[in-house]
């Protein structure tokens, strides 16, 4: 029997009388990877926030290395050896790597000045340990998402953490970067660090974790050894019922071409990108992060300046210079960055849904009743779980926020809908719902472009797949040929133009 690092006894948490965690018991052994799965709102985030000192349990006890631990703040959690790699990184963009790593615990020389040399040296050691070559002097704002995550890792290592909590670490990474992440996690494990790993991707849980815990509606459903379970069982435990088909059946598109993009370029990002979209088609855009997929969408809808190229809709050339032009031409875009670009988190459902389409609700004054009725319609149609239409979206789960985003885009009544990462960071059930909404859209004659880093999504949903690489289209794959291997060949440059 291995040594127990963390033990939780009857942890409960209430928010203004509502119980979100109910008597959770579990223990994590030293040097083990412990997965936590559950749908959005199951209580995963609340639980790790209690462990990392952001929240305090209403009742129950935590024991760390056999001793009762009173974790008052994230700082006190770090001091006893619990670090978190958050979903949204906690780095200061204007500072460089070593300044971020030692933020709040800088080495100081005897004369009271900062010992930069020592900090830089230590940072180099940490980066070596992580087998990455990020310069200690690089500015955070110049780093890629994966590199920022590395810096977070280095930060955790600098604290000599015994328990590392990782909340959905892989959602922002490409396939290659995920492999690097996995190797780091495994190396940490060898160093006897315990890891709590939260993910919606059951494949990762299966591959990486020794044990996993399932939460549902604040209740502990099961703790199992990964070796004795499979993804099917995990999914079933999470939703509490047998999962039916997650992807709807594909619909055959019409021959009519609704959108034709000709040799679009954006300085330094896109070169001569051309493709066609058919009526009622779901066209997938695949490729590694940084291959220019989102930039292409932004160039089409006018928020990114094009240096060349033309766009035709139903044979007519469009002049799109601003996002308003795109809306007027019935082209909608749903951003991958839900909270940064998609929705106003400090406003309610109604204000968000009608933000882009507000012209349809007002002459001089806004018709509040019409607006509210439309919001109610979408809440029902998309099964949005909202306490009220006025509840601020910051209190919504990711899945419900995404549904509001979807409603917001759809309320402009688009013919062409570009959806960037339609299901990023949302749970299986909400994913399935969103896939079926998209199917309903194409049945109603809307043509969709799905940009996605999730292979299964691309394979399960799309009629054709465009693969991008280095700002260019490296290949277009027809429905009968779509496979993970084929996409990766084009994405990595083994096949196609590069």
Partner 1 sequence: MNLIKSLKKFNYEKYGPLIALAVLFIISAITSPYFLKTRNLLNILRQVSYTGIIGLGMTFVIIGGGIDLSVGSMTALIGGLTILVLNSAGGGVGAIVLAILVAVLIGAAVGAANGIVITKARVAPFIVTLGTMAIFRSLTLYISGAGEFRSTSNIYPELGMGSFLEIPIPVWIFGILAFVSWLILNHTRYGRYICAVGSNEKVADYSAINVNRVKFISYIIVGIATAITAVLLSSRLNSISSSNAGVNYEMDAIAAVIIGGTAMSGGSGTIIGTVIGAIILGIVNNMLNMLGVSPYLQGTVKGLVIIGAVLIQRKKK
243 contributes a contact to partner 1 by CB under 8 A: no
449 contributes a contact to partner 1 by CB under 8 A: no
Q: Which two tokens stand for residue 381?
A: 């149609």
In the beta sheet, which residues pair with residue 275?
Answer: 261
Instruction: Closer to partner 1 by CB, 273 or 393: give it.
Output: 393
CB of 23 vs partner 1, minimal distance in Å: 25
CB of 92 vs partner 1, minimal distance in Å: 18
Instruction: Closer to partner 1 by CB, 246 or 303: give it.
Output: 303
Q: Are 355 and 371 in contact (CB under 8 A)?
A: no
159 contributes a contact to partner 1 by CB under 8 A: no
Q: Read off the DSSP letter of residue 322.
A: S
Residue 21's closest CA among 40, 51, 48, 46?
46
Instruction: Closer to partner 1 by CB, 132 or 345: give it.
Output: 345
**Cα–Cα dist 285/416, whole Å:** 15
Q: Which two tokens stand for residue 10?
A: 């009857």
359 contributes a contact to partner 1 by CB under 8 A: yes
Stretch that binds partner 1, among 53-61, 216-224, 232-240, 349-357 (CB under 8 A): 349-357
342 contributes a contact to partner 1 by CB under 8 A: yes
**Cα–Cα dist 490/474, whole Å:** 6
Q: Which two tokens stand for residue 483?
A: 């496979």
* Direct distance between the N- and C-terminal alpha carbons of the chain, in angstroms, rounded to an integer: 53
Type and span of the H or E element at 202 = helix 202-208
**Cα–Cα dist 290/288, whole Å:** 6
Give me the 394-433 binding string for partner 1, x by CB under 8 A, dash otherwise. Answer: --------------x---x---------------------
Q: Are 113 and 106 in contact (CB under 8 A)?
A: no
Give me the 98-137 binding string for partner 1, x by CB under 8 A, dash otherwise. Answer: ----------------------------------------
**Cα–Cα dist 259/482, whole Å:** 22
Stretch that binds partner 1, among 101-109, 274-282, 306-314, 325-333 (CB under 8 A): 325-333
Site for partner 1 in 290-319 (CB under 8 A): 303
- Number of chain residues interacting with partner 1 (CB under 8 A): 28
Interface residue list for partner 1 (CB under 8 A): 303, 322-324, 326-327, 333, 335, 340-347, 351, 355-356, 358-359, 362, 364-366, 368, 408, 412
């Amino acid at each position: 029997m291995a040594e127990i690092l963390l033990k939780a006894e009857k942890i409960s948490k209430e928010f203004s009388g509502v119980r979100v965690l109910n008597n959770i018991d579990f223990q994590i052994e030293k040097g083990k990877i412990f997965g936590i799965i559950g749908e959005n709102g199951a209580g995963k985030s609340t639980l790790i926030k209690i462990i990392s000192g952001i929240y305090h349990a209403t009742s129950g006890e935590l024991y760390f290395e056999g001793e009762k631990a009173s974790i008052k703040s994230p700082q006190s959690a770090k001091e006893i050896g619990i670090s978190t790699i958050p979903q949204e990184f906690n780095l200061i963009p204007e500072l460089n790597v070593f300044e971020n790593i030692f933020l709040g615990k800088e080495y100081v020389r005897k004369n009271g000045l900062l010992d930069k040399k020592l900090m830089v040296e230590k940072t180099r050691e940490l980066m070596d340990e992580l087998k990455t070559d990020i310069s200690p002097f690089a500015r955070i704002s110049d780093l890629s998402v994966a590199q920022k995550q590395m810096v977070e890792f280095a930060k955790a290592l600098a604290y000599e953490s015994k328990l590392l909590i990782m909340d959905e670490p892989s959602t922002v990474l490409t396939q290659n970067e995920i492999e690097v992440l996995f190797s780091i996690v495994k190396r940490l494990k060898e160093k006897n660090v315990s890891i709590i790993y939260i993910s919606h991707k059951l494949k990762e849980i299966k591959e990486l974790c020794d044990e996993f815990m399932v939460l549902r509606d604040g209740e502990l459903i099961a703790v199992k050894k990964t070796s004795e379970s499979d993804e099917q069982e995990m999914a079933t435990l999470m939703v509490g019922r047998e999962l039916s088909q997650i992807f709807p059946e594909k619909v055959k598109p019409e021959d009519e071409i609704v959108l034709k993009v000709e040799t679009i370029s954006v300085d330094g990002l896109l070169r001569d990108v051309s493709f066609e979209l058919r009526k009622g088609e779901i066209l997938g855009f695949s490729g590694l992060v940084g291959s220019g997929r989102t930039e292409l969408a932004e160039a089409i809808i006018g928020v990114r300046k094009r240096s060349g190229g033309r766009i035709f809709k139903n044979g007519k050339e469009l002049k799109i210079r601003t996002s308003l032009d795109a809306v007027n031409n019935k082209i909608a875009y749903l951003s991958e960055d839900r909270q940064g670009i998609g929705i106003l988190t400090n406003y309610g459902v109604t204000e968000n849904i009608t933000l882009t389409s507000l012209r349809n609700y007002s002459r001089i004054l806004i018709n509040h009743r019409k607006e509210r009725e439309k919001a109610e319609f979408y809440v029902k149609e998309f099964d949005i779980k909202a306490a009220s239409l006025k509840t601020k979206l910051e209190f919504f789960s990711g899945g419900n926020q995404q549904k509001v985003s979807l409603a917001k885009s759809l309320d402009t009544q688009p013919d062409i809908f570009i959806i960037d990462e339609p299901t990023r960071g949302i749970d299986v059930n909400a994913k399935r719902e969103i896939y079926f909404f998209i199917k309903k859209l194409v049945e109603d004659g809307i043509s969709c472009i799905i940009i996605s880093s999730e292979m299964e999504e691309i394979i399960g949903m799309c009629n054709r797949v465009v693969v991008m690489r280095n700002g260019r289209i490296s290949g277009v794959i027809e429905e009968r040929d779509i496979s993970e291997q084929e996409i990766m060949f084009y994405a990595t440059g083994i096949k196609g133009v590069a």
